[in-house]
Chains A and B, each alone.
Chain A
């Protein structure tokens, strides 16, 4: 079955450390997204990519970086510049087709600071 795989499920970051969250999809979707979810808040967009080798900053891109070297992969790096990284991170992909658009999410990564 097609879907989005995020790993790891739980991740701990030490101060000053960069960590990378993995997101892989086998849905053949062009568009991929990274969101941050904090308790009581809606999903906030970190970065998105509409096509391979291209990506745009979202509303809260500072302290994060991404790459899109392959259609199926969109890893997110949380850098040491992100001072409050503890949150739940969700990767998503979408496609617009004749019957409308479809939106899929991964199962998320909970990042905590040691």
Chain B
């Protein structure tokens, strides 16, 4: 049983397209994280959300705590956005991670 489910697993888009990645979770949380992992492996944190919406450049993240669902949107996608996007939640002392969405943006 996965506490965190992401969809889609893989996504290919043309440059400029609007992209949505979804994350659903089954545990009670106070915050959710969206992370980005580039080839080479290092992971960086994009957003920490506890409610509503956050925007950073072309990235927008939303969360609905009642429905236990979050989305990550990328507007005007670019090849440099190609990466694995991971959502993570922490109901207690541990973080639980989705398996990630592998995004490829084609020029």
Contacts and interface: CB of A to CB of B under 8 A. Distances in A.
Q: For the complex, would chain B's binding face be called helix, strand, loop or mixed by DSSP majority?
A: loop
Provide the main secondary structure of the chain A interface.
Answer: strand
Interface residues of A, number: 26
B41 A104 contact: no
Interface in A26-84: 31, 33, 37, 40-43, 45, 48, 50, 56, 58
A23 interface: no
Interface in B55-107: 86, 88, 90, 93-95, 97-100
A90 B43 contact: yes
B24 interface: no
Contact of B94 (A41, A45, A90): A45
A97 B104 CA distance: 34
A42 B95 contact: no
Given A100-B48, A101-B31, A105-B43, A33 B100 contact: no
B86 A107 contact: no
B50 interface: yes
Interface of B: 2, 4, 31, 33, 35, 40-45, 48, 50, 86, 88, 90, 93-95, 97-100
Nearest to A43: B97
A20 B48 CA distance: 31
A37 B100 CA distance: 11
Contact of A105 (B4, B44, B48, B94): B44
A45 B48 contact: no
A102 B50 CA distance: 12
Given A42-B99, A92-B95, 12 more contacts: A41-B99, A42-B4, A42-B98, A43-B97, A56-B93, A90-B43, A100-B48, A102-B48, A103-B33, A103-B35, A103-B88, A110-B41
